[in-house]
Structure 1
Amino acid sequence: MRIDIITCIPEMFTGTVDQSILKRAADKGLAHIHVHNLRDYAINKHNQIDDYAFGGGAGMVLMIEPIDKCISELKAQRDYDEVIYMSPDGELLSQNISNELSLHNNIILLCGHYKGVDERVREYLVTREISIGDYVLTGGELAAAVVADSVIRLIPGVMNDETSALTDSFQDNLVAPPVYTRPAEYKGWKVPEVLTSGHTAKIEDWRFDQAVERTRMKRPDLLGKDSEV
């Protein structure tokens, strides 16, 4: 997989793309992130990439020309499955969306900034818009990093234990059950006996029941009104 990130603040990704899961994926040759500075496609010698909004109003708007030039250059080199604009009013990122994106080969993530992008970018250049929550950030960089991490970790071979991602929260519309590790008792606080029983079927049943109960308590919205769980 290849993820190209277009941003006017590439420094925000310094240290992010070469750490943890993202670095492991790159070292294994399974996924690579390339960050592109939008100012390299500026319209004049002053590196201008933004301008005032037609009709007035506070804030600057990222111009269409630099964005179009960058996306066009990337598309001339390869085909892309999605051109995604990180937007606070896009579809809310979910585990299902991350699962879907992890099956793609090439993705572009466009980071907005200031008051956003010229609307024609959204009308003609992007194929999808994604939000990581109902709040506004200074720019789309942090959101793009979240999407990249949530997607790349799902690629087979990236994680040492490939079954780990399949048991994460939200994979089955349930949050993850409690987990414990050694020692089995600490300050009188004991690990549930079933987990040390060695009885695989009983352990799996316990984990499922705990996941359902925890979901009911913490995220009942995931179960839905018609849920039979």
Structure 2
Amino acid sequence: MRVKANQIEINYEIFGKGQPLIMLHGNQEDFHIYEELIEILKDNFTIYAIDSRNHGLSGKSIDFSYDAMTQDVYQFIRQLKINKPHILGFSDGGIIGLKLSIFAPNLIDKLIICGANYHPKGLNKKIIKALKNEYKEDKSPYIKLMLEEPKIRKKDIKKVTLKTLILVGEKDVIKTKHTLKLHQMLKKSKLIILENETHDSFVVHSTKLAPYIMEFTKK
């Protein structure tokens, strides 16, 4: 299915029935990373699985920023008249979820962030070096986005009052101290560091998130 939101065609699918849950994927992915998770959660949630702009089957645009993608999701929720959805965001999707919670907090019920940073400096130095080398080779806008964004102000993060669950792998590419700082700034957040997990091992084509989501979203 497609809907025009923020001047861009957004590709999405709806699964299941229950509490509304919007799933946002990471950089250079599409919503199919959640296929296995959707199978488990669709008995309890109405799941809206979205392809971000310039990803999957969604429209293409030279305006490629987290601000633009946040507006896409905001307009998507408004267009489909989704009432107080939970947001699940992985990596770039987590950044979008965080920015949406700052921009339109009354639109969301609860926020689940997996492996997301609020500033490029939150990535470990080894990854930053690898990304810079890759960008020199192909000038990819996806890599450029990770090197230059996000730059979310700490004072804005501190204003967020949504109940938030932060999940991160013990071996994530994001510095643990960066995630701890995010947890400290989000007043109503819970942090879970998953032992022996990497950046995406507990998210992409995995069902490991299911029990955490079920528990966290209980009314």
The TM-score by the shorter chain falls in which range?
0.3 to 0.5
TM-score by length of 1: 0.36
TM-score by length of 2: 0.37
